[in-house]
């Protein structure tokens, strides 16, 4: 017969065993899936939701390890060929890529409204596209620039042929409109805010105000058809966490600005904060949720591109984007 002391010791060790075994199971860590996100430009507030999701732990809580890098080449091509899981693109690039049989899909709109437009120093007195006549435009040399300027001038029955198109390349737009050209194409949420902080007075012509078809999605988050088919759970987790990051940028722009500066300390603190506050109203705008994409927006801009001979056919709209990974 076991003594009371022996029974006590057995019970004590059984208790330890019961408490330790579940603990061992809980100590098993799940290896996070590694995800690469390609930026189409240098770090700025368009990407703040992604950095917020990193710093707030939204990705890690979804078992993701996210690396953000500036793309060394074409974002669309690298994502389509599996060199990265996600990338930052824009509606026209997705449209061109789809027509080139490049299997990329837009899975979220970062901004609900196109915040780009034509800017000039106030002293130039360029207030409408009619005032582009006999002026010089400085841009990066894309056919879409000329087509857009021409289309807007047609609305005002202005003479597009009188515009001097100058290819300045990827030069600072503020510097260009201070000397090399009379007007430029900018994203107001960054370059416009930067000009304000420098004390420059601008005239700004938003594309969305001149033609509803030009209120397209820019930027968007893209992935590949292959990833959607083979690992939809990964896409869903990434978009869920990213959406949380952008919701933070909407509700707490100051916090989002801090997170961006953590990853890009070379940026100007004042510019990042001012831009972040300005963009907070555009990430979701009047949409029911962040990231949602409207079929009409995709169709309208595709028809616009076709009308101005920038594409030979209208692509299959429904395969170019999806909202299924949003909440």
Provide the pLDDT for residue 2.
Answer: 43
Domain with CATH 3.40.190.10 in the chain: 33-112+217-320, 116-214
CA distance 323 to 306: 24
Provide the pLDDT for residue 170.
Answer: 77
Contacts of 284 (CB under 8 A, 6+ apart): 112, 246, 247, 250, 290
165: exposed, middle or buried (Cβ count in 10 Å: 0-12, 13-18, 19+):
middle
CB 174 within 8 A of CB 187: no
Q: How does pLDDT run across 157-207, given as a tens digit for each residue?
A: 999 999 999 999 878 999 999 999 999 999 999 999 999 999 999 999 999
Return the HEC string of 65-85.
EEEEEECCCCHHHHHHCCCCC
Q: Which CATH superfamily is domain 33-112+217-320 in?
A: Periplasmic binding protein-like II (3.40.190.10)
For domain 116-214, give the CATH number: 3.40.190.10
Which segments within 126-269 are labelled E, that is strand? Answer: 136-139, 164-167, 183-187, 202-206, 220-224
SS3 content of the chain, % helix, strand, coil (to 5): 50, 15, 35
Provide the pLDDT for residue 28.
Answer: 59
Mean pLDDT by 10 residues, the chain (327 residues): 42 41 52 96 97 98 97 95 97 97 98 98 98 97 95 97 93 92 98 97 98 98 98 98 98 98 98 98 96 98 97 96 94
């Amino acid at each position: 017969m076991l003594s009371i002391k022996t029974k006590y010791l057995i019970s004590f060790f059984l208790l330890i065993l019961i408490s330790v075994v579940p603990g061992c199971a809980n100590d098993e860590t799940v290896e996070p899936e590694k995800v690469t996100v390609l930026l189409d430009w240098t770090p700025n507030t368009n990407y703040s939701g992604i950095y917020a999701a990193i710093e707030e732990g939204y990705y890690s809580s979804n078992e993701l390890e996210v690396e953000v890098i500036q793309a060394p080449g074409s974002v669309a091509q690298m994502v389509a060929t599996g060199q990265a899981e996600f990338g930052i693109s824009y509606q026209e690039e997705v449209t061109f890529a789809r027509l080139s049989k490049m299997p990329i899909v837009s899975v979220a709109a970062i901004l609900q409204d196109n915040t780009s437009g034509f800017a000039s120093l106030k002293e130039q007195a360029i207030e409408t596209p009619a005032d582009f006549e006999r002026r010089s435009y400085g841009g990066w040399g894309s056919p879409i620039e000329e087509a857009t300027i021409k289309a807007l001038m047609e609305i005002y029955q202005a003479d597009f042929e009188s515009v001097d198109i100058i290819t300045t390349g990827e030069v600072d737009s503020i510097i260009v409109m201070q000397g090399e050209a009379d007007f430029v194409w900018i994203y107001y949420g960054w370059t416009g805010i930067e000009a304000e902080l420098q004390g420059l007075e601008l005239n700004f012509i938003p594309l969305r105000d001149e033609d509803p078809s030009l209120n397209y999605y820019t930027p968007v988050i893209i992935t590949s058809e292959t990833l959607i088919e083979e690992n939809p759970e990964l896409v869903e987790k990434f978009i869920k966490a990213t959406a949380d990051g952008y919701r933070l940028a909407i509700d707490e722009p100051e916090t989002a600005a801090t997170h961006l500066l953590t990853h890009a300390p070379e940026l100007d603190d004042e510019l990042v904060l001012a831009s972040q506050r300005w963009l907070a109203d555009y990430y979701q705008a009047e949409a029911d949720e962040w990231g949602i994409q409207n079929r009409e927006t995709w169709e309208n801009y595709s028809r616009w591109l076709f009308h101005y001979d920038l594409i030979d056919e209208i692509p299959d709209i429904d395969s170019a984007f999806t909202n299924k990974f949003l909440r």
